[in-house]
Structure 1
Amino acid sequence: MPDAPLTPFPCTACGKCCRRVNASPETAFLDRGDGACRHFDDDSHLCRIYEQRPLVCRVEEYYRQNLAAIIPWDEFVRINLAICEKL
């Protein structure tokens, strides 16, 4: 039976998380040396490899593969939105 669809993560594409990849062990490998993701375009504020971005950047897919058995989606979204606010 396929997984039920998740309500999409309410990302506003502000780029704040892309500018702070060094702040998390899960995304530190993307750091270009200044804390920002090596795929983040400073001019457009968009991801240059969005369609091929790493799993950790694919919020819903990452959640399904790594966290669905641990935490409900709504709680995961609430926690991550709180982190977004702090960024």
Structure 2
Amino acid sequence: MHSFPCTQCGLCCQKVGLAEETRFLDRGDGICKNYDSISRACQIYVDRPDICRIDRQYVLNYAKKMSWSEFIDINIKVCHQLQSAEILKQ
């Protein structure tokens, strides 16, 4: 089982207001209350919620619906969409 190739861009942490599952993390501007914009890192990474753990999300919600590889591929596509939208914004 290969791991998710996270680029640590922080965009998923800056868009928590977009999904119902992550809105509880929104500090009011769509950015996660645990995201440090200066270091571009999670301040609670070791203790982050399950919704922020791709491996845990797979086990809890997707393992019976698709393979790990399919799940990773979908997440990579979403990640690339976020990155592409950010590039267009600049």
TM superposition score normalised by structure 1:
0.89
1:69 partnered with 2:64: yes
Q: Please name the residue that 1:31 is paired with.
A: 26
Q: Please name the residue that 1:18 is paired with.
A: 13
Question: Secondary structure of 1:27's match?
Answer: helix
Structure 1 runs, 4 residues or longer, greater than 2 Å off:
none
**20-29 or 38-47: bigger deviation:** 20-29
What is the CA-CA distance between 1:42 and the residue it aligns to?
0.7
Q: List gaps (5 residues or longer) in structure 2.
A: 83-90
Q: Aligned equivalents of 1:17 and 1:81: distance in 2?
A: 12
Q: Which one has the bigger helix percentage? A: 2
Q: List gaps (5 residues or longer) in structure 1.
A: 1-5
Q: Please name the residue that 1:81 is paired with.
A: 76
Query: Structure 2 residue aligned with 1:45, among 40, 49, 56?
Result: 40
Q: Number of residue pairs matched? A: 82
